[in-house]
Structure 1
Amino acid sequence: MTNQRYHGIAMRIRIITDDFTSALDGTACFAGHGWDTAVLVQPEGTGTAEVVSLDTNSREFTPELDHHAVANAAHTWRDADVLTLQFDSTLRGRVARDCSTALAASGRRKLLIAPAFPSAGRTVEEGRVLVDGVPVHETAFGKDPTLPVRESSIPALFRAHSIEVKVARDVAHAGALLEVHDAVVVDARTEAELDTIATTFAGARDLLLAGSTGLLRGLARVLPRPHSAQVARVGYRDSASACMRTARRPWLVVGSLNPQSRRQLVIAQAQCRVNVLATGESRLPAGVAPQAALRDLVLQVVNLVGSGACDGLVVTGGETARRIIDALPTVSLRVCREIMPGVPLAEVQTATGTFPMITKAGGFGDDDALLTCINALTGAKP
C-alpha cells in the first residue's frame, strides 16, 4: 500500500453513502475546513466540487439485491484521489454488500474498513463495533424497529457474504495485512488513531476506504486544505456566514423511532418552545416501516415550508430528511458546517427561497442534542 502526499494540489474526494444524513454529515466536516463540497441525491448527477457525496439511498434495500447506484458511482469515480464508501457507524444497512459492490466496480484491489467514530461513542476493538463500550448488537440498535443490528463483529458480518476480513490492531499492522490480504478492518478507540489511519492511507489509489463519518472527519482533519480554498478564503467566509442566518419560525421534525431521539424530543420540548412534527411511537412488525405516517409527515413539512410558516428545520431520521428534500422543489443543497460531531447544518435552496436545515441521525448525540440543534438554528443562548 502506497499513498500520495498532496501539497496545495486540487484533490478529488468522492464519497458513496447509503443515507441522506450520512451524505450531509460526511461533507460537513470538509466544508468546515474550507473545502468546496457538494451533495448529490440523484445517481445521474455530476459533481465538480473537490468533495462530492452521493446518497444512493440503499440502506434499507435488502442485502441480497444488487444496488446499481452504488456500483455506478464506484465505477464513475474509480479514478478519484480518495474514494470512500461511507456507512452507518452502528452497522445498520447493507454494509458488507455495499463494500463488496463498490470494491468490484471501482477496480481497486484492496478494502480498508475503519468504522470507528470515537467522538460519538463508537469504537472498534478486536474487529468489533462497540457503542459506549457495549457491542452494538446488544444496544438499542439491536432493537431498531426498521433495521435491527444483529452482528457487532466486522469479520462475522462480512463472512456471511463470503468475504474474508482480517483484523488489524493498528495502522502498521493494517499495512502489513493489506500486503497479503484483500480486506482488513482496523481497530480504533480514539480520534488520534483515526487521524493516523487517514494520514497513512489517504491517496492510496488501489485502496477503497470504507467507514463511518468518523473516518471522513479524520480525512478532513489531516488532508492539506486545497490551494483553491486558501486563495479564496474571504469568499469562503462569506459563503459560510450565509448559512448563519437564524430561523424565527423553526420546526422540529422527528421521523426516527430510536429511543434516544425520543428522549431528546422530550427534553427539547421541556426546555424551549418549538413547533414539533413527529411520527407515532407504535411498534410495527419487523421489517415494516411506518410509510403512511411518514408520507403524512413529509406532506405537512412541504406545506409549512411552502406557506412560509416554517423558515428552518431540525430533522432527525435519515429517511425522513431525504423524503423532505425529494418532496420539496429543491434546487440545490449546500453543506455549511457541523453543529456537533456528525450533525451538519445545510442551506436548502428551493424555487421560492432558501432556509437552513440541521439533520441528525436518530441515535446520535446526548440527551440535549435536539435542544442544541434548535438553539443553533434560532441563535438562542444555551
Structure 2
Amino acid sequence: MNALIVADDLTGAMDTGHQFAASGLETTVRISRRPPDADENVDARWQHEGDTDRQTPTATAAVVAVTTETRYADAPTARERVVRAVSVADADESTLVYKKVDSTLRGNVVAELEATIDATDAALAVVAPAFPAAGRVTRDGIHTVDGVPLSETEYADDENGPTTAHLPTLLAASRYPVDHVPLEDVSNGVEALAAVVRDAAGREGARVLSFDATRSSHLAAIADAAARCDERVVYAGSGGLARYVTVPGDGRETDARRGRKLASAPNTTRKTGALGIVGSVNDRTLAQLDRVPDATVIALEPSDVLESPTTAGQEAGTRAGKRLAAGEIAVLTGARSNPDLEETLEIGRREGLDRSQVRVRVKRALARAGRAAVDVQPPAGLFSTGGDVTVAVCEALEASSVALTGEEIEDGIPVGRLETGPIAGTTIVTKAGGFGGESAIVNSLSRLREDDRQ
C-alpha cells in the first residue's frame, strides 16, 4: 500500500479515492461492516467481534480508502477510530496518509486532524479543504460554497456542521499550533511556497498549516510544495487537493491488478434497469431529484417508514425490483422535497423521535429497499447519494469494498465496481449530497444504462 485515505463517510472516501484512481493508481475503498445494533451503539461496528477482516484495509491496492463513519459521532469516538484506522493499516513512514476533510467542514474536523497527526507522528498537517471545481474556495481564511460564506449556508445547520466559516478560527481549537497561508503567498510560486512549508515543518513540535485556495492551480502548488518537504507531512483536504498529491512508489497496473479487474468486470449481459437510492436531503440533491421523471421515483411513505422501516423498505424495494425486471429505471427515496422532509420529521416528533432517530429509520428502510429490489432483479448499475445511506445499502448488499475505475460522471461523482456480495461486478456511482449539477442524478442513471447496453 502506497497511500491511505481516511474519510469520515463513504461518499467522501469515494470521491477522494477517485482522484488517485484517475491518475492510474489502483484504488480500493473498504466499507466497514456494522452489526445489527450499530445504530443504537454506534461504536459497536468497530468493536464487533469477528469483523476485523472487514475493517482492516488490505495492502493489495496501491491506494486504500477506509471510512470511520464518524461524521455524526462524538469527538472522542472520532479520534479513536481515526487512530485505529491508521494503526490497522500498518502505515509506515513511506505511506502517504491523506485525511479526507468534508469540503463544507462538517464533522469532527479538528479531532480527526489531531488524531491523524498523533497516529503518524507527522511534523506537519497541510490543510486545504477547497474544491474549486465543486464551488468550494477559501479566501482570506473564509471558506465559501458557491460564493456564500459557509456559516450562511444550509451546511451550518447540519447536526455536526461548522461553527464558523473562518478556517483558521475553526482549526484554532486544536492543541497543535496553527498558521494560515494567505492567497498572496500561495500564488508566489512553488519554490516560495515550499520554503513556507519547510519552515513550518522544521519548527519544534507538530504543527497545522492551513491554506487559502481559489483555483485548482493553487491546490496543485500546495501539494507540490508539501511533497518537497523532508519532514513527514500528512495531508488534510477534500477531493480537490487529493487530485494533485504525489503518491510515493509505483502503484500502477500490475498483473495482480489485472487479475482482480477481471474478477470484478462489469456485467454487460444484464439487460435490466438501473437502480437509484437517494438518501441525501441536501437542497442540491432534492433539485437534482426533481429532474427525475415522476414515474421513475418510488418515495417511501413517512408514517410507514417510522412505524416499521423493514416492512416499508421491503414493499418499496419489491416495487423497484419489478421496474428493474422490466428494463426500467427505479429511484428509491425517503423524501422528494423539503415539505416531504418536514412532514417526516413532524410525524417523528409526534411519535417521540428526534431528528437523528428519524434519520436512522429512513436509512434502514432505504437499505432494506435496495436489497429487496436486487433480490427481485439485479440492476444494470447502482446509483447512491448520501454517505450514511450508501454505507447501509452496501452493507445490505454484502459489499465490503469498491474498486474505483478512475472515471467520473462529473467532478466529485466517481464510478466504481462492487468487489464482493451477490451483485459483485456491478457498476456503482456515488454522490455526496451537495455535489453535482441539476442533471447529476439523471446523467448518472443514464450512464449506468448505457454501460449495460454496450
Question: Structure 1 length as normaliser, TM-score?
Answer: 0.86
2:416 is aligned to 346
Contact 1:26–1:213 (CA<8 Å) still a contact in 2? yes
Judging changes above 3 Å, is the alpha-carbon distance between structure 1 residues 347 and 149 closer, same or farther for their aligned structure 2 residues?
A: same
Letter in 2 for 1:193: H
Please say if residues 30 and 37 of structure 1, whose CA atoms lie closer than 8 Å, have aligned partners that are also in contact.
Answer: yes
Aligned positions of 1:50-199 closer than 5 A: 50-75=62-87, 76-144=90-158, 146-169=159-182, 170=186, 171-172=193-194, 173-180=196-203, 182-199=207-224
Which string of whole-angstrom CA distances, capped at 9 and with x for unpartnered residues, describes residues 170-225 of structure 1?
13444444444711101111111111222221375511111111111122xx5589
Cα distance in 2, alignment partners of residues 224 and 372 from structure 1: 35
Aligned equivalent of 2:61: 49
* 1:257 corresponding residue in structure 2: 281
| Distance of 1:242 and 1:348 partners within structure 2 | 9
SS in 2 for 1:365: coil
Q: Which of 5, 13, 22 pairs up with 2:12?
A: 22
Distance 2:391 2:228 in 1: 31
Distance in 1 (CA, whole Å) between partners of 2:28 and 2:14 is 9
Report the 3-state secondary structure (helix = DSSP H, G, I; strand = E; otherwise coil) of the residue aligned with 1:85.
Answer: strand
Mapped pair 1:292 → 2:361: yes
Cα deviation 1:37-73 (Å, max 9, x = unaligned): 1212233342331111111111111225454321022
Distance 2:262 2:143 in 1: 37
- 1:62 maps to a residue whose letter is D
2:433 to 357, 362, 371: 362
Higher percent of residues as helix:
2
CA distance in 1, matches of 2:404, 2:95: 21
Structure 2: how far apart are the matches of 1:48 and 1:139?
A: 41
Measured in 2, the distance between the counterparts of 1:339 and 1:239 equals 22
Q: Which residue of 2 aligns with 1:282?
A: 341
Whole-Å separation in 1 of the counterparts to 2:239 and 2:251: 24
**Which moved further from structure 2: 342-351 or 364-373?**
342-351
Distance between the aligned counterparts of 1:213 and 1:100, measured in 2? 20
Counterparts of 1:231-242 in structure 2, within 5 Å, are 235=258, 242=265
Please report how far the alpha carbon of residue 122 of structure 1 lies from its aligned counterpart in structure 2 after TM superposition: 0.7
Query: Does the 8 Å CA contact 2:274/2:330 hold for their aligned counterparts?
Result: yes
Secondary structure class of the residue paired with 2:290: helix
Bigger Cα displacement from structure 2, 297-306 vs 28-37: 28-37
The aligned residue for residue 5 of structure 1 is none
Q: Partner of 1:301 in structure 2?
A: 370
Between Structure 1 and Structure 2, which shows a larger proportion of strand residues?
1
State the shift of 1:127 in Å.
Answer: 2.2
Q: State the partner residue of 1:7.
A: none
Residue aligned with 2:429, SS: strand
CA distance in 2, matches of 1:25, 1:330: 18
Q: Secondary structure at the match of 1:49?
A: coil
Aligned partner of 1:39 in structure 2 is: 29
Q: CA deviation at 1:87?
A: 1.6
Match of 2:244 in 1: 218
Deviation at 1:331, TM superposition (A): 5.5
Label 1:275 to 1:124 Cα distance change in 2 as closer, same or farther (>3 A): same
The alpha carbon displacement at 1:345 in A equals 1.0
- Residues 63-89 of structure 1: CA deviation (Å, up to 9, x unaligned): 254543210223331424311111211
Once the two structures are superposed, residues 127-179 of structure 1 have per-residue CA deviations (whole angstroms, 9 ceiling, x without a partner) of: 222112221121121233x4333321222212234443211121344444444
**TM-score after normalising by structure 2:** 0.73
Identify if the C-alpha distance between structure 1 residues 239 and 342 changes in structure 2 by more than 3 Å, giving closer, same or farther. Answer: farther
Going from structure 1 to structure 2, the CA distance change for 1:326 and 1:271 (only over 3 Å counts) comes to closer
CA displacement at 1:297 relative to structure 2: 1.2
Secondary structure of 1:59's partner? coil
Secondary structure of the equivalent of 1:353? Answer: coil
Alpha carbons of 1:239 and 1:123: their partners in 2 closer, same or farther (altered >3 Å)?
farther
Structure 2 distance, partners of 1:241, 1:103, is 35
Give SS of 2:292's match: helix
Aligned to 2:305: none
* Aligned Cα root-mean-square deviation (Å): 3.0
Separation in structure 2 between the aligned mates of residue 298 and residue 34 of structure 1, nearest angstrom: 32
What number of residue pairs does the alignment pair up?
Answer: 367
Q: 1:244 to 1:189 in 2, by over 3 A?
A: farther
Counterpart of 1:268 (choices 283, 287, 292) is: 292
Cα contact 1:81–1:203 (8 A) shared by 2: no
Contact 1:56 1:69 in 2 (8 A): yes
Whichever residue aligns with residue 367 of structure 1, its letter is E
Distance 1:366 1:147, change over 3 A: farther
Which whole-Å CA distance do the structure 2 matches of 1:224 and 1:271 have between them?
49
1:209 aligned to 235, 253, 266, which one?
A: 235
Give the partner amino acid of 1:254. V
Report if aligned partners of 1:82, 1:203 keep a CA contact under 8 Å in 2.
Answer: no
Aligned to 2:315: none
| Structure 2 unmatched ranges of 5 or more | 33-54, 187-192, 297-327, 346-353
Question: 1:309 Cα deviation (Å)?
Answer: 5.1
